[in-house]
Amino acid sequence: MSYLFGLLFVIICVIIIVYFNNSKNKSKSLENETNFLDILNQRKLQPDQILFTDYNNSSNFLSVNEKQKKLCYGFIKDEQINVNIFDFKDILDFDVQVNDESKRKVSIGGAVVGAALAGGLGALIGSQSGNQVNKIKNINFLITVNNISQPTIKFLLLEPTMDGKGWDPDGIVVKNAIHKAETWSGVFNIIFNENKR
């Protein structure tokens, strides 16, 4: 009987620790987001679109200001928020990687689909191989900018699962990541169209 009470006590302690750690991380994430927005406001770069990573205590930020034609990339280094600002004309390319593979052009049944990011990304990710649904291990948004010191910005939209098995492609976590990827693909397509003018 005392063994069961001991086990129950340990389980309750673990639940309390996890709860307080999650609360602390959420609080830190909100603080980082607020600080990033303050930096943008000070520089008169209020975002038309903004994205905070859901991971690493919200240590990565992405925003665009259409009027100033600026892309802002924020990250935490040595507990300080750093912000890199790029002109739209310095954005060279973007890509969405699912399980570390590009989804800009995807081969399905021998046919190459070139417009995967124009609204069809979710369907491509959710496609089945035979009867087995492919698990999603990670989703990254990559931006190539005209900057020698940091030519690629890698933005994590979906982190790997703790067990390494991957996420269910029909699950809400994957659908949220796909929605972000498609939204930001649309933003960058608009930027590229403006750059052509």
pLDDT in tens, 99-120: 888 876 433 333 333 444 444 5
Region 74-94: mean pLDDT is 88
Comparing 21 with 98, which gets the higher pLDDT?
A: 98
| pLDDT > 70 fraction of the chain, expressed in percent and rounded | 67
Give the model's pLDDT for residue 126.
53
Mean pLDDT score across all residues of the chain: 76
User: pLDDT confidence of 131, banded at 50, 70, 90?
Assistant: very low
Res. 85: pLDDT tops 50:
yes
Distance CA 118, CA 102 (A): 14
Give the model's pLDDT for residue 4.
67
Res. 33: pLDDT tops 90:
no
Res. 7: pLDDT tops 50:
yes
